[in-house]
Amino acid sequence: MYVVTPGYQSAMGIRLLRGRLLDDRDANNAPFVALINQKMADDLWPGQDPLGKRIAFPGREGQARVWRSIAGVVADVKQYGLDRQDNMQFYLTEDQFPFQSGSLVVRAKNEPAPLAPMVRDQVRSLDGSLAVYNLGTMDQLLSDSMSLRRLSMALLDLFAAVAVLLAAVGIYSVISYSVTQRTHEIGIRMALGAKRGDVLRLVLAEGMAPAAIGGAVGLLGSVALTRFIGSLLFGVSPTDAGVLALILAVLSIVALVACYVPARRATRTDPMIALRYE
């Protein structure tokens, strides 16, 4: 439940989907109304237009339940974390449901942080006994709510970068060693008429074959294991085809570069020196 004053939805950027927002018409002596979110509309009136429907919210202690008409439907809000599922939400006006404490929302056209002292002074000018605390920007609130997730993802990024580096070094080392061991063979091939392009394709093909097999096995393994990191993701499916294709492309490029360097060196082999190679 949110007890708000007119203009709250506009200040917070909450989209109106149907009907109207709460405004100055919704005073204490006016018919009681409420706004609900899309989740509440879908759960209570599936396939129906909730505008004009009536709902009774629990009254305060010793008070009867109050029936309110649905004046509008607004978009769902992530109140307690981006990873939390949407729940039913409704908005009442402060005039029709007085509340003793609350938060002040200020929407700025420019950088909001410098406005904090001005907001504090303005509130104190209205009532010096009011305690103004916990001032901050929406960006700060969002950043704080995702700090633990951001740390987890940063560690995963670091481990992934180290894994890619180790893979590149490993592929380069294996192909380089293979080229060194086959120097005599490469010399014979070039002496018999093999072109540099032929040698380059030969080394690349033999180097990329195990890399392709490893990529396929890794892709299958990642699909099987992504359910363990699904709780760390927001707005992205653990098996998002685009993300998996991008990762596979990056790893393929890393493998290709790691194979190309020793393959390029192999094309510069002097056949006469290679034939004398022991």
**Tokens at 91, concatenated:** 């908005």
Question: Which amino acid is it at 189?
Answer: R
* Residue 189 near residue 199, CB atoms below 8 Å: yes
Question: Which amino acid is it at 16?
Answer: L
Q: What is the dihedral of CA 256, 262, 265, 267, to 10 degrees?
A: -60
User: What is the biggest distance separating any 2 CA atoms in the chain, rounded to whole angstroms?
Assistant: 104
Interatomic CA distance for residues 215 and 21, integer angstroms:
53
pTM summary value: 0.59
Interatomic CA distance for residues 135 and 141, integer angstroms:
10
Strands 33-37 and 16-19, bridge-based pairing: unpaired
Per-residue pLDDT tens listing for the chain (278 residues):
899 999 999 899 999 999 999 999 998 889 999 999 999 999 999 999 999 999 987 666 667 788 999 999 999 998 877 777 788 999 999 888 888 778 888 888 888 888 888 888 888 898 888 888 888 888 888 888 788 878 888 898 899 889 888 888 888 888 777 777 777 777 777 777 778 788 788 888 877 888 888 888 888 887 777 777 666 666 667 777 787 888 888 888 888 888 888 777 777 766 666 556 55
* Residue 73 near residue 38, CB atoms below 8 Å: yes
* Residue 73 near residue 19, CB atoms below 8 Å: yes
**What is the CB-side half-sphere exposure of residue 103 using CA atoms within 13 A?**
11
Question: Which amino acid is it at 125?
Answer: S
